[in-house]
Amino acid sequence: MHRVQRALRRAASGATVALLALAVGCAPQPEGNASAKASGAAAGTCTQGKLATKNSGKLTIATDEPAYEPWFKADRPSNGKGFESAVAYAVAGRLGYGESAVVWQTVPFNKAFAPGEKTFDFDINQVSISAERRKAVDFSSGYYDVRQAVIALKGSKAARAQSIADLRALKLGAQVGTTSLGYITDVVKPTRQPAAYAKNDQAKSALKNGQVDAIVTDLPTAFYITAAEVTDARIVGQFEDQGGTPEQFGLVLDKGSALTSCVTSAVDALRKDGTLTRLEKQWLSDAVDAPVLK
């Protein structure tokens, strides 16, 4: 009788170990930081040029309209010029899709990371990776580390700001749904309701017309705006990274997309071989340092 009980206990123990092993294998892995591997298909399924794309043999890439500089050039994402256009084609190449196999699609900024099935394979549009957005979409690993910056008209009170406290009483504006607007509400915490605009163009017009004292954009965009679009404006300063983790732009994919790990592997390879650094120097070289607002 005792031998039978011992045998049963050994069998139960073996079954428990097997079940635990299976559970560990199926358990979700920690997300880690913004550059961590995203969910999706296993790397082994990334057959060059034969991925499970929206349209067989084609890679559909989305961005907003207009496509702003320095991320794109001449409002033409398909010309391969500008940092994000160049990155998009570099990723496509890594996935086995040449220029003729890339199809561009227009998708508004906010719609790119809104819940629901996507019409694109991935979107590239200065979309910052965040835990909140990850609830609705997948992200690749980050392809660019970015900081947010404040722009004000030269000679204005806002242009003389040297700290976050100096910004609190000002009327500030940014594009809706962006981390730029998030920095206003969460970091500056202004005493006046910030203005939210559907497009960056509207924010720039508001600054020109004196409807806001200053606007917030990512740093490279801020340098382009002050150099070419609102030349009587200046960069007041940039914000520090929040929580010690750099803000990163990532490629946006369907939640649970079979392409996520393949696209992430492509981005990681471009970082490792120096392509991302080279493209950053080529297209964003004017975005030099700016004073840090504390």
How many helices (H) and strands (E) the chain has is answered by 9, 11
The pLDDT of residue 143 is above 70: yes
Quick one: pLDDT at residue 73? Answer: 97
Quick one: pLDDT at residue 22? Answer: 32
**Cross-strand pairs, 148:** 218
The confidence band for 288, taking pLDDT boundaries of 50, 70 and 90, is low
* 8-26 pLDDT tens trace: 344 334 433 333 333 333 3
Q: Could you tell me the CA-to-CA distances from 271 to 9, 34, 171, 293 in Å, in that order?
A: 52, 14, 39, 29
Quick one: pLDDT at residue 245? Answer: 81
Average pLDDT of the residues in 164-190: 97
* 203-256 pLDDT tens trace: 999 999 999 999 999 999 999 999 999 999 999 999 998 877 889 999 999 999
Q: What is the pTM of this model?
A: 0.81
Helix, strand or coil, per DSSP, at residue 32: coil
Minimum mean pLDDT range among 75-89, 159-173, 272-286: 272-286
The confidence band for 156, taking pLDDT boundaries of 50, 70 and 90, is very high
Provide the residue count of the chain. Answer: 294
Q: Residue 202: enclosing H or E segment and its boundaries?
A: helix 200-208
